[in-house]
Amino acid sequence: MNISREDARQSLTMVENTSTQTGRSIAAAYSGPLLILWGLVWVAAFIGTHLFLNSAWYIWMVLDGVGAVGTALICRWRFRAGIPTKSSDSKKVGWSIFWFWTLLLVYIIVWLFLFSPVSGLQLNAFICTAAMFAYVMMGLWWRQCRFLLWLGLAVTVVTLIGFYLIPPAFYCLWMAVAGGGPMLGTGLYIWFCWR
């Protein structure tokens, strides 16, 4: 077969595009629904905290519980159905992610006991940045989920801005919009545009 340089160039471009689309569609299938879920949890929990500050603890416990159960159900459904991919390692990867988050939660509790944050604001900013650190790590590990790195860094900056620059009375509203908003927005974007 004789092909020109231009044909070869077009073929390589086609390969690169297909490869990018494949990676994105797989990333979207798993992270899209999870980011939408956790974006909604953050938005609802921060608005709830702003409105009912005295019940903040219960609001976060209930909504984080909803998020955790939702995450388990989404992952179980995806892994079992093999949508869009399956492999013998799927289960292993799933359990690694589960233990990563569980251990992070344990460490957060240990650090809270060690450092004893003096205010609810400190406590919240600490947990938010710790969760975003996990996003950053996951973005570094999985090249197909590299956007998690940028999302994690962006929400960390947003949290620090909220902590240092926003009046405490508006911190929760700020975090609902500038923290939960990007998570929800990223989830919706990759779900509808990458899948």
Give the residues lining the site for other proteins (CB under 8 A).
1-5, 8-9, 11-12, 14-16, 18-19, 21-23, 25-26, 29, 80-89
- Residue 4 or 54 having the CB closest to other proteins: 4
- Residue 23 or 181 having the CB closest to other proteins: 23
| Structural contact between residues 67 and 37, judged by C-beta atoms closer than 8 angstroms | yes
Q: To 5 degrees, how large is the angle CA 117–CA 118–CA 121?
A: 80
- Residue 89 or 113 having the CB closest to other proteins: 89
Q: How far is the CB of 103 from other proteins (least distance, A)?
A: 24
For residue 84, which phi and psi values (nearest 5 degrees)? -90, -5
Q: How far is the CB of 157 from other proteins (least distance, A)?
A: 31
Residue 66, CB-side half-sphere exposure with 13 Å CA sphere:
14
| Structural contact between residues 160 and 130, judged by C-beta atoms closer than 8 angstroms | no
Q: How far is the CB of 90 from other proteins (least distance, A)?
A: 8
The residue with tokens 């989920």 is 145
Q: How far is the CB of 32 from other proteins (least distance, A)?
A: 14
